[in-house]
């Protein structure tokens, strides 16, 4: 569709940001009233999708385009969006707003704040506005009276949301790329920057583009999804802001210098700085008439082997590339099985049989079912008897299955004293365990570390689940001394997981690197709570690649007989 033919109602054109704000406000009111959390989540997700789109939702609605093609937008939400575009608001929201207390209406404008928690803070501190909340935050009162975690929540919630995670970026990047090529007439557009290096939290979306008319492209962006203000612009680079607040950077490069353009725009800044330092030829090549279409040709020119984007963080990659000693990084197709997955026995959405058949469809040789343990009541943890029954059930299942093996496992809670949540005679019956912390995040660093070390002393401890418990952009992890934990794991034959859930990615790349350097293998797990979530694997693989892992150091790149030997303590 050509932009010039779109009929516009310029008197009342709603930006994507304004539409998203309505949905987000509704989500906030629903959350405050204790509504179904999946419903709240659905509105939030739809709002994020809309805010990141490179197309104008207002125009799409006016052209009767089916909105359910976008991720997270189902029939009901699509109807709500149409109502917002047609009437400027949602009747449901207007009604709630009219009846809500003024302080709640104000909280609803801050999508990062959890209304119920903030109302509790208001009560405790005797305040009733976000202005007062901010004051208390800066004065240190929230931290002192309500703890570090609450302080962190308020700090993040009062910040404007400009950051996103890889899985959120994925959709937006695809939409922007399509927009740049189809509607701006750009010949070639490639996502670069943090996104291409697979950094977990992305603060700016960056594209390398092949065009002779960067200014024209920018005016198109402003018209569709931009806030219309160009932050900076030179002949070859432009930075603008989308209605979501997301910063979009476009860098133009001629086709014959594409390889150089890719390296410069992919970064990291530190990697590029070290390249400049390493090879004076670099600058000459940039200015010469010589063609450098691929990155490989540029690195080769400098006497380096190709450096994968995930390794370009300015650590040891240039020295290794100079000696042709870069690791061969693990790939998604190297993964032979799943080691952390839940079923309906605890808090999963699919039965064991459904999880197994989905794993088989992915070509896996094995899948470990690791449901929650008894103490974790909110996740329907299995009692000892339940787990005994599950073990017998899986034995029977394996008898009639061909081509895939179901491993008997559990995600065993590490209790506050460092003991495991099942007795040894039960743990002994499992093929392996994933042991995790799900409680008492507020213990100090030393106690939390000792808790894990003590757990590792149990001979039935195999893999430490989500080692720091972080939820990206939501909560920091609990504090542990990762180096001590890695050392203890190395001494005792324990392992880590890289939890691929895009909100976790735990271990972080730098912690995972510590494990690799100590010779401790890791599993790349998805912690799937449904068959759909097996797809998270790629995010964990990216994370492992950033930590420099090859497949020989990844537990689930081994066959089960090999893995069984490795896990034996
Ligand atoms: Zn867990
Ligand atoms: Zn889990």
Per-residue pLDDT of the chain (569 residues; tens, 9 = 90+): 333 333 333 345 777 777 888 898 899 899 888 888 889 999 998 988 887 676 778 888 988 999 998 888 999 999 999 999 988 889 999 899 888 888 888 888 787 888 889 999 999 999 988 889 988 888 888 888 888 888 888 887 876 557 889 988 988 899 889 888 988 889 999 999 999 999 998 988 999 999 988 888 877 776 665 554 556 667 788 888 776 667 889 999 999 999 999 999 999 999 999 999 998 778 777 778 889 999 999 999 999 999 999 999 999 999 999 999 999 999 999 999 999 999 999 999 999 999 999 999 999 999 999 999 999 988 999 999 999 999 999 999 999 999 999 999 999 999 999 999 999 999 999 999 999 999 999 899 999 999 999 999 999 999 999 999 998 877 778 899 999 999 999 999 999 999 999 999 999 999 999 999 999 999 999 999 999 999 999 999 999 999 999 999 999 999 999 999 999 99
Which residues form the domain of 51? Answer: 3-158
Q: Do 483 and 452 lie in a common domain?
A: yes
Closest ligand to residue 409's CA: 2
Distance 117 CA to ligand 2 centre (A): 25
Q: Do 33 and 144 lie in a common domain?
A: yes
> Measured between alpha carbons, how far is 20 from 15 in angstroms, rounded to an integer?
9
Q: Do 154 and 174 lie in a common domain?
A: no
Cα torsion for 170, 32, 470, 313, to the nearest 10°?
A: 40
What strands, in cross-sheet order, belong to the sheet with 434-436?
337-341, 366-372, 405-413, 434-436, 463-464, 495-499, 522-525
Distance 527 CA to ligand 2 centre (A): 5
Neighbours of 29 (CB within 10 A): 23
Q: Do 470 and 379 lie in a common domain?
A: yes
Instruction: Give 476's DSSP letter.
Output: P
> Measured between alpha carbons, how far is 239 from 229 in angstroms, rounded to an integer?
9
What is the predicted pLDDT for the residue at 225? 59
**Residue 523 falls within a domain, yes or no?**
yes
What is the predicted pLDDT for the residue at 52? 66
437, 451 Cβ separation under 8 angstroms: yes
What is the predicted pLDDT for the residue at 229? 52
Dihedral sign, CA of 477, 482, 484, 485? positive
Distance 259 CA to ligand 1 centre (A): 42
Distance 358 CA to ligand 1 centre (A): 21
Distance 415 CA to ligand 1 centre (A): 13
Cα torsion for 460, 462, 467, 469, to the nearest 10°?
A: -60
Q: Do 382 and 414 lie in a common domain?
A: yes
Closest ligand to residue 466's CA: 1
Distance 464 CA to ligand 1 centre (A): 10
> Measured between alpha carbons, how far is 141 from 145 in angstroms, rounded to an integer?
6
> Measured between alpha carbons, how far is 167 from 395 in angstroms, rounded to an integer?
36
Distance 341 CA to ligand 2 centre (A): 6
**Residue 415 falls within a domain, yes or no?**
yes
Distance 322 CA to ligand 2 centre (A): 41
Distance 393 CA to ligand 2 centre (A): 20
Q: Do 275 and 292 lie in a common domain?
A: yes
Q: Do 301 and 379 lie in a common domain?
A: no
Distance 398 CA to ligand 2 centre (A): 22
What is the predicted pLDDT for the residue at 154? 87
Distance 372 CA to ligand 2 centre (A): 7
H helices of 406-528, in order, are 424-427, 445-456, 482-492, 509-517
Distance 542 CA to ligand 1 centre (A): 20
**Residue 208 falls within a domain, yes or no?**
yes
Distance 371 CA to ligand 2 centre (A): 7
What is the predicted pLDDT for the residue at 54? 63
Q: Give phi and psi for 427, each to the nearest 5.
A: -55, -35
Distance 180 CA to ligand 2 centre (A): 39
Which residues have C-beta within 8 Å of that of residue 159, sequence separation ≥ 6?
112
Distance 349 CA to ligand 2 centre (A): 13
Which residues have C-beta within 8 Å of that of residue 71, sequence separation ≥ 6?
45, 49, 171
The CATH number that applies at residue 97 is: 1.10.150.110
Closest ligand to residue 437's CA: 1
Which residues have C-beta within 8 Å of that of residue 170, sequence separation ≥ 6?
none
Distance 495 CA to ligand 1 centre (A): 15
What is the predicted pLDDT for the residue at 403? 92
> Measured between alpha carbons, how far is 165 from 313 in angstroms, rounded to an integer?
18
End-to-end alpha-carbon separation of the chain, Å?
A: 63
Distance 436 CA to ligand 1 centre (A): 6
Distance 357 CA to ligand 2 centre (A): 19
Distance 568 CA to ligand 2 centre (A): 22
Which residues have C-beta within 8 Å of that of residue 361, sequence separation ≥ 6?
none
Distance 11 CA to ligand 1 centre (A): 51
What is the predicted pLDDT for the residue at 1? 32
**Residue 98 falls within a domain, yes or no?**
yes
Q: What is the pTM of this model?
A: 0.76
H helices of 245-366, in order, are 258-266, 269-278, 281-287, 295-301, 317-322, 352-361
Closest ligand to residue 528's CA: 2
Ligand 1 is an ion; residues with CB less than 5 A from it: 436
Distance 73 CA to ligand 2 centre (A): 27
Which two three-digit tokens encode residue 64?
């009767």
Q: Give phi and psi for 339, each to the nearest 5.
A: -115, 0
The CATH number that applies at residue 395 is: 3.20.20.140
Distance 494 CA to ligand 1 centre (A): 17
Q: Is 275 exposed, middle or buried (0-12, 13-18, 19+ CB in 10 A)?
A: buried
**Residue 148 falls within a domain, yes or no?**
yes
Q: Which helix (H) or strand (E) holds 81?
A: helix 75-87
Distance 438 CA to ligand 1 centre (A): 6
Cα torsion for 374, 380, 383, 386, to the nearest 10°?
A: -150
Q: Give phi and psi for 471, each to the nearest 5.
A: -120, 110
**Residue 233 falls within a domain, yes or no?**
yes
Distance 157 CA to ligand 1 centre (A): 24
Q: Do 405 and 310 lie in a common domain?
A: no
Q: Do 396 and 523 lie in a common domain?
A: yes
Distance 185 CA to ligand 1 centre (A): 47
Q: Do 168 and 27 lie in a common domain?
A: no
**Residue 27 falls within a domain, yes or no?**
yes
Closest ligand to residue 468's CA: 1
Distance 314 CA to ligand 1 centre (A): 32
The CATH number that applies at residue 231 is: 3.30.460.10
Distance 529 CA to ligand 2 centre (A): 8
Closest ligand to residue 410's CA: 2
Which two three-digit tokens encode residue 555?
């537990």
Q: Which of 322, 356, 373 is the last residue of a domain?
A: 322
Tell the residue number behind the tokens 């000696």, with chain if given.
323
Instruction: Give 112's DSSP letter.
Output: T
Number of domains in the chain: 3
Distance 555 CA to ligand 1 centre (A): 19
Q: Do 183 and 145 lie in a common domain?
A: no
Distance 466 CA to ligand 2 centre (A): 8
Q: Do 92 and 196 lie in a common domain?
A: no
**Residue 327 falls within a domain, yes or no?**
no
What is the predicted pLDDT for the residue at 37? 86
Q: Which of 296, 322, 348 is the last residue of a domain?
A: 322
Closest ligand to residue 525's CA: 2
> Measured between alpha carbons, how far is 369 from 407 in angstroms, rounded to an integer?
6
Q: Which of 116, 142, 158 is the last residue of a domain?
A: 158
Long-range interactions of 143-150: CB distance < 8 A, separation 24+: 146/121, 147/442, 148/442, 149/441, 149/442, 149/475, 149/476, 150/117, 150/121
411, 462 Cβ separation under 8 angstroms: no
Closest ligand to residue 506's CA: 1
Distance 411 CA to ligand 1 centre (A): 7
């Amino acid at each position: 569709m050509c932009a010039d033919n779109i009929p516009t109602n310029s008197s009342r054109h709603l930006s994507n940001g304004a539409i998203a704000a309505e949905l987000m406000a509704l989500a906030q009111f629903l959350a405050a009233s204790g509504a179904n959390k999946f419903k709240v989540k659905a509105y939030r997700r739809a709002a994020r999708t809309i805010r990141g789109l490179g197309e104008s939702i207002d125009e799409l609605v006016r052209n009767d385009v089916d909105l359910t093609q976008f991720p997270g937008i189902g029939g009901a939400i699509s109807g709500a969006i149409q109502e917002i575009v047609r009437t400027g608001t949602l009747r449901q929201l207007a009604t709630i707003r009219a009846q809500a207390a003024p302080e709640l209406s104000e909280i609803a404008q801050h999508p990062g704040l959890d209304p119920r928690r903030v109302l509790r803070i208001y009560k405790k501190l005797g305040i009733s506005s976000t202005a007062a909340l901010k004051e208390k935050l800066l004065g240190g009162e929230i931290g002192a009276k309500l703890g570090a975690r609450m302080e962190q929540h308020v700090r993040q919630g009062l910040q404007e949301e400009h950051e996103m995670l890889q899985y959120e970026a994925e959709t937006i990047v695809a939409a922007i790329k399509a927009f740049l090529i189809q509607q701006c007439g750009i010949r070639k557009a490639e996502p670069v920057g943090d996104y291409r290096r697979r950094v977990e939290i992305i603060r700016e979306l960056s594209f390398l583009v092949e065009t002779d008319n960067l200014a024209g492209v920018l005016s198109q962006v402003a018209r569709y999804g931009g806030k219309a203000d160009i932050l900076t612009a030179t002949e070859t680079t432009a930075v603008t802001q989308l209605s979501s607040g997301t910063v979009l950077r476009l860098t133009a490069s001629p086709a014959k210098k594409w390889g150089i353009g890719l390296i410069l725009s992919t970064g990291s800044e530190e990697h590029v700085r070290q390249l400049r330092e390493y090879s004076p030829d670099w600058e000459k090549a940039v200015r010469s008439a010589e063609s450098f279409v691929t990155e490989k040709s540029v690195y080769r020119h400098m006497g380096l082997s190709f450096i994968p984007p995930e390794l370009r963080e300015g650590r040891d990659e240039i020295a290794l590339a100079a000696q042709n000693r870069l690791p061969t990084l693990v790939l998604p197709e190297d993964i032979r099985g799943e080691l952390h997955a839940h079923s309906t026995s605890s808090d999963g959405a699919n039965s064991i049989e459904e999880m197994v058949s989905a794993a088989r469809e992915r070509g896996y040789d094995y899948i470990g079912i690791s449901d929650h343990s008894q103490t974790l009541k909110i996740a329907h943890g299995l009692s000892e008897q339940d787990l005994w029954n599950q073990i017998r059930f899986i034995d029977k299942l394996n008898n009639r299955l061909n081509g895939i093996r179901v491993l008997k496992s559990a995600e065993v809670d590490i209790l506050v004293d460092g003991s495991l949540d099942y007795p040894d005679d039960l743990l002994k019956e499992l093929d392996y365990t994933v042991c995790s912390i799900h409680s008492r995040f507020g213990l100090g660093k030393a106690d939390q570390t000792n808790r894990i070390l003590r757990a590792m002393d149990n001979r039935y401890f195999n893999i430490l689940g989500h080692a720091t418990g972080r939820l990206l952009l939501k909560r920091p992890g609990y504090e542990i001394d990762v180096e001590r934990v890695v050392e203890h794991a190395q001494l005792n034959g324990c392992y880590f997981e890289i939890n691929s859930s895009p909100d976790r990615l735990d271990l972080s790349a730098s912690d995972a690197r510590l494990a690799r350097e100590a010779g401790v293998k890791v599993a790349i797990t998805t912690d799937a709570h449904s068959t759909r979530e097996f797809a998270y694997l790629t995010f964990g693989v990216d994370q492992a690649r950033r930590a420099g892992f090859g497949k020989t150091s990844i537990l689930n790149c081994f066959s089960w007989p090999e893995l069984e030997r490795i896990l034996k303590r």
